[in-house]
Amino acid sequence: ADEKTLLITEIKQLLKQEDAVMVAHYYTDPELQALAEETGGCVADSLEMARFGRDHPASTLVVVGVKFMGETAKILSPEKRVLMPTLEATCSLDLGCPIDEFSDYCDQHPERTVVVYANTSAAVKARADWVVTSSIALQVVKHLTDQGEQIIWAPDKHLGNYVAKETGADMLIWDSACIVHDEFKAKALVDLKSVYPDAAILVHPESPQSVVDLADEVGSTSQLIAAAKNLPNKQLIVATDKAIFYKMQQAAPDKLLIEAPTGGNGATCKSCAHCPWMAMNGLTNLRDVLKLGHQEIVVEESVRLNAIKSLNRMLSFTP
């Protein structure tokens, strides 16, 4: 057997031995997504990952994704051991919203309800009133607006602008962006669409407004996968991390999936349509953490107790 096959066999044994289950994000390497599926774990967006991890009986969760996803798992399941292939896998949105600066900003607007995206640190979630993912951001903000609330939104400005436009909410919007989605380019997308006039355009709302404006479907990763399946179009141009093509092609096997254009070319652009932090997860560091347990998520209890309140508002929200 080759090296990869041996590694996969070893990981499967270690998962059993450690009473562990894999929870993988759509943006990770298809090899890791396939392994999660094969071993009874899940492949999902960050909201479903959190739910699955909380409800699964395994005593160890291996979160294959980025750090905020590991922290969310730990916040919801403090009794479980939460491991990640590498704790260095972070997110430009998390990095763009440091807790001290954010907390000062919230203090300046005490009358506003604080809504943060799931792509934030445990400390930022603890400072917030609500956590949302892109799959329910519109519904939660609409609900708050109907109740007359004014909002602070952080950290993704494109998603914030999209939500404000769709709901008419009064929102102060933090200035940060995802380095991957921020690269999608509207002009090149129009050019590509002229090559594939029958294609539908699917866009994640972390993309710039000019790109969102061209979309036939705007939604979270899970919503885009559902759209790929349900839309009648045989060709789909997709503006989100291209690792999603693994699950999207499974859901829509007879369709042609086309990458939306980014600013650079493959040689110059490090984050073109694939998240560099998601890409830090691999079979080798997955095997290593199962063996050594050295990359374990820790969340301070006082932070956890505040963060779980804003997370649970999302998890128990019914529009």
Contacting residues toward ligand SF4, per CB under 6 A: 27, 66, 91-93, 119, 178-180, 206, 241, 275, 277-278
* Choice from 72, 221, 262, 281 touching ligand CIZ (CB under 6 A): 221
Q: How far is the CB of 26 from ligand CIZ (least distance, A)?
A: 7
Q: Does 176 bind ligand CIZ (CB under 6 A)?
A: no
> What residue 277 binds from ligand CIZ, ligand SF4, none (CB within 5 to 8 A, per partner kind)?
ligand SF4
Q: Does 262 bind ligand CIZ (CB under 6 A)?
A: no
Q: Which is nearer to ligand SF4, 119 or 281 (by Cβ)?
A: 119
CA 121 to chain CA centroid, nearest Å: 13
Closest residue to ligand CIZ, judged by C-beta, is 45
The DSSP result for the chain, as a single string, is --HHHHHHHHHHHHHHHTTEEEEEETTS-HHHHHHHHHTT-EEE-HHHHHHHHHH---SEEEEES-HHHHHHHHHH-TTSEEE-S-TT---HHHHTS-HHHHHHHHHH-TTSEEEEESSS-HHHHHH-SEEE-TTTHHHHHHHHHHTT--EEEESBHHHHHHHHHHH---EEE--B--TTGGGB-HHHHHHHHHHSTT-EEEE-TTS-HHHHTT-SEE--HHHHHHHHHHSS-SEEEEES-GGGHHHHHHHSTTSEEEEPPBSS-TTT-TTTTS-TTGGG--HHHHHHHHHH--SB----HHHHHHHHHHHHHHHT---
> What residue 33 binds from ligand CIZ, ligand SF4, none (CB within 5 to 8 A, per partner kind)?
none
Q: Which is nearer to ligand SF4, 66 or 239 (by Cβ)?
A: 66
Q: Does 77 bind ligand CIZ (CB under 6 A)?
A: no
> What residue 221 binds from ligand CIZ, ligand SF4, none (CB within 5 to 8 A, per partner kind)?
ligand CIZ
Q: Does 45 bind ligand CIZ (CB under 6 A)?
A: yes
> Binding to ligand CIZ (CB under 6 A): which residues in 94-153?
118-119, 133-134
Q: How far is the CB of 277 from ligand SF4 (least distance, A)?
A: 5
Q: How far is the CB of 14 from ligand CIZ (least distance, A)?
A: 26
> What residue 311 binds from ligand SF4, ligand CIZ, none (CB within 5 to 8 A, per partner kind)?
none
Per CB under 6 A, residues contacting ligand CIZ are 45-46, 118-119, 133-134, 178, 206, 220-221
